[in-house]
Amino acid sequence: KKLRVGVVFGGRSGEHEVSLRSAASILEAIDRKKYDVVPIGIAKNGQWLSGGKAQALLAGESSQGSLPAKAGRKQAHAKAGAAVANALETEAADELSSLDTGKLDVVFPVLHGTFGEDGTVQGMLEMADIAYVGSGVLGSAVGMDKDAMKVMFAAAGLPIVKHVTLLRSEWKGSPRKCVARVEERLQYPVFVKPANLGSSVGISKVKTRAELAPAINEAAKFDRKIVIEEGVGGTGRTRATGKARELEIAVLGNDDPIASVVGEIVPDREFYDYESKYDSNSTSEPVIPAKLSRAESKQMREMAVRAFRACDLSGLARVDFLMEAAPSGTPGKAAKPAKIYLNEVNTMPGFTSISMYPKLWQASGIPYAELIDRLIQLALERHAERK
Ligand code: ADP
Ligand code: MG
Ligand code: MG
Question: pLDDT tens-digit profile of 170-228?
Answer: 999 999 999 999 999 999 999 999 999 878 889 999 999 999 999 999 999 999 999 99
For residues 334 and 148, what is the distance between their CA atoms, to the nearest angstrom?
Answer: 33
Sheet architecture: strand order including 315-323: 285-287, 258-266, 245-253, 315-323, 340-346
- Kind of pairing between the strands at 315-323 and 3-10: unpaired
Hey, what's the torsion of the CAs at 284, 287, 293, 298, to 10 degrees? Answer: 100
The tens-digit pLDDT sequence of the chain (387 residues) is 899 999 999 988 778 888 999 999 999 999 999 999 999 999 988 888 888 889 999 988 544 433 333 334 445 555 555 555 554 433 323 333 444 556 899 999 999 988 888 999 999 999 888 999 999 999 999 999 999 999 999 999 999 999 999 999 999 999 999 999 999 999 999 999 999 987 888 999 999 999 999 999 999 999 999 999 999 987 777 777 788 999 999 999 999 999 999 999 988 888 888 877 777 667 677 999 999 999 999 999 999 999 999 999 999 999 999 999 876 555 555 567 789 999 999 999 999 988 999 999 999 999 999 999 999 999 999 999 887
Residue 240 has a pLDDT of 78
DSSP string computed for 236-266: GGGTTTS--EEEEEEEEESSS-EEEEEEEEE
Contacts of 173 (CB under 8 A, 6+ apart): none
In the chain, list all ranges with CATH 3.30.1490.20. Answer: 163-230
For 163-230, CATH number?
3.30.1490.20
- Between the CA of 196 and the centroid of ligand 2 the distance, in Å, is 9
In the chain, list all ranges with CATH 3.40.50.20. Answer: 3-132
Contacts of 6 (CB under 8 A, 6+ apart): 38, 39, 40, 87, 101, 104, 106, 107, 108, 130
In the chain, list all ranges with CATH 3.30.470.20. Answer: 144-159+242-384
Q: For ligand 1, say whether the CB of 248 is within 6 Å of any of its atoms.
A: no
Q: For ligand 1, say whether the CB of 340 is within 6 Å of any of its atoms.
A: no
- Between the CA of 70 and the centroid of ligand 1 the distance, in Å, is 31
Nearest bound ligand to the CA of residue 112: 2
How far, in whole angstroms, is CA 179 from its chain's centroid? 29
- Between the CA of 372 and the centroid of ligand 1 the distance, in Å, is 28
Q: Which superfamily does CATH assign the domain made up of 144-159+242-384 to?
A: ATP-grasp fold, B domain (3.30.470.20)
Q: For ligand 1, say whether the CB of 344 is within 6 Å of any of its atoms.
A: yes
Domain spanning 3-132, CATH class: alpha beta
Q: For ligand 1, say whether the CB of 152 is within 6 Å of any of its atoms.
A: no
Question: pLDDT tens-digit profile of 212-248?
Answer: 999 999 999 999 999 999 999 877 777 777 889 999 9
Q: For ligand 1, say whether the CB of 199 is within 6 Å of any of its atoms.
A: yes
Residue 1 has a pLDDT of 84
Q: For ligand 1, say whether the CB of 246 is within 6 Å of any of its atoms.
A: yes
**What's the maximum distance between 2 C-alpha atoms anywhere in the chain?**
70
Residue 89 has a pLDDT of 39
For residues 192 and 164, what is the distance between their CA atoms, to the nearest angstrom?
Answer: 10
Q: Which ligand 1 atom is nearest residue 231's CA?
A: 24
Q: Burial letters for 95-129: b for 16+ Cβ neighbours within 10 Å, e otherwise?
A: ebbebebeebbbbbbbbbbbbbbbbbbbebbeebe
